[in-house]
Chain A
Amino acid sequence: MSVDIFLSLLTAAFALMVVFSKKTVVAAFALLMTLLTIAIIYFQVGTVFLSAVQVLVNAGAIAILFVFVMMLINLEQFPNNREKNKMKLIITSFTVLVIMGVLALVINNNIEMLSVENLTDNSMKALFDKLFTAYYLPFELATMLLLAAIVACIVITSHEKHEKHEKEELLETEKNR
């Protein structure tokens, strides 16, 4: 039980660092630590495979991708400043607090039903039996989605072809003159 509380406090502390740190790079590494502690929670709950996937995909790829993009953009001219409008800040904080209170109330009312551990068959075999039979079509569609995302990233970030066209058009207009 004490391990649960310790892990929760650690995750909450890193999550607070993500939102309230001044430097964006620090926020990115705090996000990396948050995802790693969530992976530890997965491991502690018993879903071992998803814990490994969380470390590999979310912490290893996504959080590092943020750091790579920060290297491409000169972040020193963009300090991580927050909303200057005090009224808006107060209203959003109040709204989020109300949402958090409602969620805590809902959890509190159903805590006996939720804290029962019903899942006995926790093996990877049960997971993949379901994934490759009932969820086969969504799985294939997800691979197509990843492929489309790769192509979209290349198309969005590459602008050489566009510039070439513009240069050719400029040259042609100059020739016509």
Chain B
Amino acid sequence: MRPSAARLLNILVPVKRAVDYAVKIRVNPQQTGIDLNVKHSMNPFDEIAVEEAVRLRERLKDAVQSIKVVTIGPPKAAETLRTALAMGADAAIHVELPDTAPAPEPLGVAKALRALVQKQNEEAEEGGKIDLVILGKQAIDDDAGQTGQMLAGLLGWGQATFASKVDVDPATNEAVVMREIDGGSEEIRCRLPLVVTTDLRLNEPRYASLPNIMKAKKKPLQKLAPADLGVDFTPLLETLKVTEPPTRVGGGKVANVDELVAKLKEAGFTAV
């Protein structure tokens, strides 16, 4: 007899296109933001999220029914989706924003992701519902680190943040997640559906192999407009000014202790 309610996992991985971490960031002359005409790639934490989804499938085989990636961003963000597809995701959704649109904020993104999950789950047949969202703990461009938590809150799902190990058991409908916390790690057991945010130690993302890159070109990529999800990405925050950190002032040499003490006093340091 087949075990009843053999659960099939459907995983959604939201990814963000961000300025590559190897790029030296330059503030634009208007001081309204940074120079974006530089190399972009997938936010490294999101890359770890894609890798984890693919590894879950490698471990759980057919129990993972689908891995879908989604991004919200300008036309070029589609490249990020192709990378994720080449790593092993099955399908992609691109919520396309105009090049001129301001960068969406975490709350807007979380609302859009909620709308997407709800839309998918309404349309999906039994067994096709998204029950696991894996995403980076933060994006390296704005370092907000809020989207995963907000999404879990909006959906009313459990959350396991800063994951360094993820074990999912579709049979019991549970996940055991190791979390990175101050001074150590914490193991938590959670019930699906679940939002997991990834930390650096979770895994090391794979290279995209050429055959998989070729296959990725043929995988479905669906385009949506913000209106399709009924969301508005107008920022709630206003950026007043972006400036470079003050440049470091070089040190100097002193000839003797007296001179050093004099310099320290001059700089306002006094003996306790």
Tell me whether A and B are bound partners. Answer: no
List chain B positions with a Cβ less than 8 A from chain A. none
Please give the residue numbers on chain A whose beta carbons come within 8 Å of chain B beta carbons, in ascending order. Answer: none
